[in-house]
Structure 1
Amino acid sequence: MNKTENSSNNYSSFETSNFEPSTSSNNRNNKNNKSKFSLLRFVHLAYNYWAIFIVRNSKAIIAICTLITFLCTLKVVMTEYKNDITGYTPYGARSRQELAIREHFFNEKDGGGSPFGVFLLLLPKKQNNEDNDNFLNEKMLNEAIKVDEIVNKNFPLFNLNKNRSETFSQFCRDFCELNEPLRRFQEGFQHQIQRLESNETLNPNIKLNYPLSSIFGRTFNIQPNFFGIHINNSNNNNNNILLSNMAKVEMVALIYKAERVGGWSDDEVKNWQLSVSKYFDNGKFNSSLIRVLSVSTAYVEVEVVRAGLTMLPFIIVGFVIMLCCSSVFVLLSASYMNQFNYKRLWLALMACLCPLMASGTALGLLFLFGVRFGTVLCVTPFLVLAIGVDDAYLMMHAWQRIKSKEKEINRGIIETIKERVTKRMSLVLVDTGPAILISALTNICADAIGSFTGSPEITLLCMGSMAAITVDFIYQVTFYAAVIALLDESELKSEQLKENNRKLCLSILIGSKGIYKNKTITNHQRPKNKGVSHFKVNLSTKKLFASDSLLLEIDHYREQQIVPFFTMATIFVNNPGNLSNPSQIQRLNKLVNEMESLPESWGSSSTNYFIRDLSDFLGEESLNDLNNGSINEFLKWPENKHWKAFVRTDGENGTLKRFFFTTAYHGERLKEWAERANLQNKWRDIIDKYNDLNATVFNDEGLFLDLINNMPTDAWQSALATLICMTTICALFMGGEWRTVILAGITIGSIILGTLGILAWMDITMDPIMMAALVISIGFSIDIPAHVSYHFYSSGFDLPKPINKNDRHLFLNQRLTTTLLAVGIPALQAAISTSFCVLALLLVPLYMAQIFVKIMFSCIILCVIHSLILIPALIVLSDGILWNLFLLCHNTESVPNSIES
Structure 2
Amino acid sequence: MEGGIRPKRQSILIGQRSLDVYGEPEQGPKFVVWVISVFRRWGFFIAEWPWTAIVICLIVSAVSMVKIVLTPQRNEITGYTPYGARAKDEFLEYQNFFSSQGLPVAPYLFVVAKDNGSMIRPEYMRETVKILNYAMNNITMLNRVTGQNESFNQFCDSFCQLNEPIRQFYNGYVILTEPGAEPTSRIKLSYPISSVFGRTFSLQPNFFGVELYNDTEDAVPRLLGGPDIVEAVINNGTDEVPELPRVTNMKSVKMLTMQFRAEHKPGWTDADVKEWEMKMTEVFERKYHSDIVKVYAYSQSYVEEEMVRGGIIMIPYLVVGFAIMCVCSIVSVMTRALYMHQENWYKTALAIMACLTPLLACSTALAGMFVCGIRFASILCVIPFLVLSIGVDSSYLMIHEWQRVTDHMRETPRKKDSVGHRMSEVLSEVGPAILISCLTNVFADLVGSFTSSPEITLLCTGNMLSMCMAFVYQMTFYAGLMSIVGRYEIGGDIVEKNRMEISIAENRVNIARHHRPLTRQPSKFHEATKPVISKFMRDYVEFMTTPIVYVGVFLIYVAYLIFSVYGITIINISLTATKLFATDSPLLELDQYRIKYQVPSYSMATVFVSNPGNLSEPHRLHRINQLVEDMEHLNGTWGQNWGPVGTKFFMRDYANFHETFSDPEDDFVEPEEDTEASTTPVVEVTRFNEDELKFFLKWPEYDYWAGFVKLRNGTHEGEEHLDRFFFTTGFHGEALSDWNQRGKMLHEWRRVVDNYR
Question: Under a length normalisation based on structure 1, what TM-score does the superposition of the two structures give?
Answer: 0.69
* Preserved contact between residue 206 and residue 215 of structure 1 (Cα < 8 Å): yes
Equivalent in the alignment of 2:330: 327
Q: 1:228 & 1:21 partners in 2: Cα distance?
A: 72
* Preserved contact between residue 163 and residue 206 of structure 2 (Cα < 8 Å): yes
Equivalent in the alignment of 1:160: 144
Equivalent in the alignment of 2:342: 339
Equivalent in the alignment of 1:231: 212
Equivalent in the alignment of 2:675: none
SS at match of 2:261: strand
State, as a whole percentage, how many aligned pairs show the same letter. Answer: 39
What is the CA distance between 1:21 and its match in structure 2?
A: 9.7
Q: Render the CA deviation track for 1:528-578: whole Å, top value 9, x for unaligned.
A: 424333422113443333333222221110111111111111111112122
The within-5 A match list for 1:433-448 is 433-448=431-446
Q: 1:151 & 1:205 partners in 2: Cα distance?
A: 29
Q: 2:569 & 2:709 partners in 1: Cα distance?
A: 47
1:611 aligns with 2:651: yes
Equivalent in the alignment of 1:201: 182
1:678 aligns with 2:744: yes
The equivalent position to 2:423 in structure 1, one of 407, 422, 425, is: 425
SS at match of 2:572: coil
1:506 aligns with 2:524: no
* Preserved contact between residue 616 and residue 690 of structure 2 (Cα < 8 Å): no
What is the CA distance between 1:335 and its match in structure 2?
A: 0.9
Equivalent in the alignment of 1:273: 277
SS at match of 2:260: strand
What is the CA distance between 1:404 and its match in structure 2?
A: 1.1
What is the CA distance between 1:225 and its match in structure 2?
A: 0.6
What is the CA distance between 1:639 and its match in structure 2?
A: 0.5
* The 10-residue stretch of structure 1 (135-144 or 397-406) with the greater mean CA deviation from structure 2: 135-144
SS at match of 1:655: strand
Q: 1:297 & 1:426 partners in 2: Cα distance?
A: 56
Equivalent in the alignment of 1:6: none
1:587 aligns with 2:623: yes
Q: Render the CA deviation track for 1:862-898: whole Å, top value 9, x for unaligned.
A: xxxxxxxxxxxxxxxxxxxxxxxxxxxxxxxxxxxxx
Q: Which amino acid aligns with 1:112?
A: Q
The within-5 A match list for 1:489-638 is 489-503=487-501, 505-507=518-520, 509=522, 511=530, 513=534, 514-515=537-538, 516-517=541-542, 518-519=544-545, 520-521=549-550, 522=553, 523-525=555-557, 526-527=559-560, 528-529=563-564, 530-599=566-635, 600-619=640-659, 626-638=688-700
Equivalent in the alignment of 1:464: 462
* The 10-residue stretch of structure 1 (244-253 or 230-239) with the greater mean CA deviation from structure 2: 230-239
What is the CA distance between 1:502 and its match in structure 2?
A: 4.1
Q: 1:626 & 1:22 partners in 2: Cα distance?
A: 86
Q: 2:470 & 2:363 partners in 1: Cα distance?
A: 10
The equivalent position to 2:44 in structure 1, one of 47, 52, 68, is: 52
Q: 1:578 & 1:550 partners in 2: Cα distance?
A: 47
Equivalent in the alignment of 1:748: none
- Distance change >3 Å, CA 474–CA 25, structure 1 → 2: closer
1:84 aligns with 2:73: no
- Distance change >3 Å, CA 24–CA 226, structure 1 → 2: closer
Aligned alpha-carbon RMSD (Å): 2.4
Q: Render the CA deviation track for 1:200-253: whole Å, top value 9, x for unaligned.
A: 431112221111112344321110110111111224665578422211112211
- Distance change >3 Å, CA 354–CA 541, structure 1 → 2: same
Equivalent in the alignment of 1:816: none
Equivalent in the alignment of 2:755: 689
Q: 1:157 & 1:42 partners in 2: Cα distance?
A: 65
Q: 2:71 & 2:25 partners in 1: Cα distance?
A: 56
* Preserved contact between residue 285 and residue 296 of structure 2 (Cα < 8 Å): yes
* Preserved contact between residue 52 and residue 422 of structure 1 (Cα < 8 Å): yes
The within-5 A match list for 1:162-311 is 162-194=146-178, 197-198=179-180, 200-233=181-214, 234-235=216-217, 239=230, 242-282=246-286, 284-311=287-314
The equivalent position to 2:115 in structure 1, one of 111, 120, 126, is: 126
What is the CA distance between 1:137 and its match in structure 2?
A: 2.8
What is the CA distance between 1:153 and its match in structure 2?
A: 0.6
- Distance change >3 Å, CA 690–CA 421, structure 1 → 2: same
Q: Render the CA deviation track for 1:239-271: whole Å, top value 9, x for unaligned.
A: 578422211112211111122215333332222
Q: 2:480 & 2:93 partners in 1: Cα distance?
A: 56
Equivalent in the alignment of 1:360: 363
Q: 2:492 & 2:247 partners in 1: Cα distance?
A: 96
Structure 2: where are the runs of 5+ without partners? 1-16, 222-228, 231-243, 503-517, 663-684
What is the CA distance between 1:43 and its match in structure 2?
A: 1.3
Q: 2:696 & 2:623 partners in 1: Cα distance?
A: 22
Q: Which amino acid aligns with 2:519?
A: L
* Preserved contact between residue 628 and residue 653 of structure 1 (Cα < 8 Å): no
SS at match of 2:51: helix
Q: 1:157 & 1:78 partners in 2: Cα distance?
A: 26
The equivalent position to 2:119 in structure 1, one of 135, 142, 147, is: 135
SS at match of 1:254: strand
SS at match of 2:653: helix
Equivalent in the alignment of 1:105: 97
What is the CA distance between 1:614 and its match in structure 2?
A: 0.9
Q: 1:319 & 1:443 partners in 2: Cα distance?
A: 21
Q: 1:668 & 1:608 partners in 2: Cα distance?
A: 23
Q: Render the CA deviation track for 1:670-721: whole Å, top value 9, x for unaligned.
A: 1121111111111111111112xxxxxxxxxxxxxxxxxxxxxxxxxxxxxx
Q: 1:399 & 1:22 partners in 2: Cα distance?
A: 19
Equivalent in the alignment of 2:352: 349
* The 10-residue stretch of structure 1 (622-631 or 381-390) with the greater mean CA deviation from structure 2: 622-631
Task: Pick the structure with greater CA Rg.
Answer: 2
SS at match of 1:123: strand
* Preserved contact between residue 102 and residue 269 of structure 2 (Cα < 8 Å): no
- Distance change >3 Å, CA 427–CA 602, structure 1 → 2: same
What is the CA distance between 1:348 and its match in structure 2?
A: 0.6
- Distance change >3 Å, CA 542–CA 25, structure 1 → 2: closer
Q: Render the CA deviation track for 1:614-642: whole Å, top value 9, x for unaligned.
A: 11111399676744421011112101100
* Preserved contact between residue 630 and residue 654 of structure 1 (Cα < 8 Å): no
Question: Under a length normalisation based on structure 2, what TM-score does the superposition of the two structures give?
Answer: 0.82
Q: 2:331 & 2:632 partners in 1: Cα distance?
A: 69
What is the CA distance between 1:299 and its match in structure 2?
A: 2.1
- Distance change >3 Å, CA 315–CA 626, structure 1 → 2: closer
What is the CA distance between 1:22 and its match in structure 2?
A: 6.9
Q: 2:686 & 2:571 partners in 1: Cα distance?
A: 55
* Preserved contact between residue 241 and residue 247 of structure 1 (Cα < 8 Å): no
* Preserved contact between residue 440 and residue 473 of structure 1 (Cα < 8 Å): yes
- Distance change >3 Å, CA 24–CA 453, structure 1 → 2: closer
* Preserved contact between residue 310 and residue 378 of structure 2 (Cα < 8 Å): no
Q: Which amino acid aligns with 1:113?
A: G
Q: Which amino acid aligns with 2:741?
A: E
What is the CA distance between 1:662 and its match in structure 2?
A: 0.7
Q: Which amino acid aligns with 2:460?
A: C
The within-5 A match list for 1:465-864 is 465-503=463-501, 505-507=518-520, 509=522, 511=530, 513=534, 514-515=537-538, 516-517=541-542, 518-519=544-545, 520-521=549-550, 522=553, 523-525=555-557, 526-527=559-560, 528-529=563-564, 530-599=566-635, 600-619=640-659, 626-651=688-713, 652-691=718-757
Equivalent in the alignment of 2:241: none
Q: Render the CA deviation track for 1:285-308: whole Å, top value 9, x for unaligned.
A: 343432212222222223333333
Q: 2:93 & 2:327 partners in 1: Cα distance?
A: 56
